[in-house]
Each structure stands twice: as C-alpha cells, then as structure tokens.
Amino acid sequence: MKIAFIGLGNMGAPMAANLAAAGHDVTGFDMAAPAPDGVTMAENAAGAASGADIVVTMLPNGDILRAVAAEVVPAMQAGAVLLDCSTVDVDSARAVADMAADHGCGALDAPVSGGIGGAAAGTLTFMVGGAQDALAKAMPLFDVMGGRTVHCGPSGNGQAAKICNNMILGATMAVTCEAFALADKLGLDRQAMYDVASTSSGQSWSLTTYCPAPGVGPTSPADNGYKPGFAAELMQKDLGLALQAAEAVDSPTPLGTEALRQYTDFVEDDGRGKDFSALLERFVGRGRT
C-alpha cells in the first residue's frame, strides 16, 4: 500500500522503517527528524498524505493531532484511513474521527504499548478504536508493526484502553518501587524480596517483567542506568490523560491521582529523561517526610 507516516520521532521512525522494509511505499513528514531507512520525505504533511491509502500519525498530544488532521484530512482521498498511533485524550481522538468521516475517510485511534524496543522489533500491542472496515484495511500494517492488535470498540476506545492500562501501570510501578525501598531499609535482600513477591500475591508486570531494581529479575532499564524505555515524563502525561478522562465522566481515581502526584514531583525534581522505573531511586533516597 501507499502509506504516509507523519511524526518520525523515537517511536515513529522505526515503525515507518518497518513498513518500508515490508514493501510498502512510505512517504514521511516530520518537522525535525531525519528520514528513516526506506522512507521518502515530503515537504509537508498534506503532501505526504496526498494519494495515500493509509495516513499514520505518531504525535505528542491531542492539540497537535487536531492541527495535523485539519491539514491532512482534506488532502486524503475518499476511502483512505487516518491511523493515529499517538497517545492523546479521548475527546481529540473522537473529534479527529468525526473530521475524517466528514471527508469520506475512515479513522482509527490505535495507541501502542511496547516502547521504543517494541517499535524497533515490530512487536507493539495496538489498542484500536474505530469501525471494522477501517480496521480490516489497516490490519496488514498492524501485522508489520506489532505483535498483537485488540479492537476495543468505536472511535476513542483505543485511547480509553491505553489510559486505563497505563494508570494501572503507573500505580503498580510506584508501589513496587516503594516496596523495594522499604525492603532495603528493613534489611531484606532485594533478590529475596523479588523471589518471594514474584511468585506470590505481590506479582505484577512491573515486578517480573520490568523490575525497577538493578540486577534483579529479567534485564530492564534499571540495568542500563535507567535509560528510558518509557520515560517518566511520558508516564506523567498518560496519568494526566487518565485523570482528565476520569473527571469528564465523574469516576473516582484516588490511587491514579496519587501516582500522578508522585510522577509529577519526580519529573519536576530530577526524573526527566529517566525511565519511569527510576522512581525507585527517589524512594531509596528519602524518608517518610
């Protein structure tokens, strides 16, 4: 297929390169990033989208998504699909879907899980909102870029799934870091702590797949100086989106709210540019007050 890919940063670049390597004709656009392997660059977003079967976007936030969609949707051919892989607010996802529908185009909101490593390896999980016909058209791309695709329902539901999932992730990582810091101060060896919790009721993905303690469990960013696989400021962003959505529908989120506070304090202190699991260092270095 003829693909446009708009937003070629740390996530978008390897995703676009994988599509090109799979034989798709990929035209890209980014305000600053260089061309990934196999991708021809356009002068602007509308130029990339013109004549494309599918326009893929990977953008920082909902405001930018709305602005890019306002530029590219009028340039898209009827029947083309706008496939947004950004993590944005639910309202923006639904507004962009309505914009596409008004121009005779399909739209999918398909945020991802798996980080930079998953983007490079083509093993991302996609959480997709939108119509079945648009999903069917985009499936060959999902098969190249990811390992699993879950259709979550109508437009906006992909974003809803992403922010709910990441609220769980943020809260469980925070309490996992708290527990390791407490274990240290109680004189409990980290490996012993891991061996118990990883095989009993304290088990979680944050512990057994992405352990925040260096040298414990499978290799994770903690073993690489907390170089980000998923940056703390991105967790802060996703928790903020979750709480924004919760406020809109009057849903209580006391633990999500506290997780956002912890990550906001961490990012504003010294956590920017570190993996979100580096929250452990903050707890180890502090007392109760």
- HSE-CB for 82 with a 13 A CA cutoff: 39
Half-sphere exposure of 143 (CA within 13 A, CB side): 9
Pairing assessment for the beta strands 124-130 and 112-113 based on DSSP bridges: antiparallel
Contact between 115 and 229 (Cβ < 8 Å): yes
DSSP β-ladder status, 146-153 and 112-113? unpaired
Beta strands in 142-191 (DSSP E): 146-153
Q: Are strands 40-41 and 54-57 parallel, antiparallel or unpaired?
A: unpaired
Catalytic residue among 137, 162, 237, 274: 162
Catalytic residue list contains 2 = no
> Which residues does 183 contact at the CB level (< 8 Å), separation at least 6?
189, 190, 193
Residues designated catalytic: 162
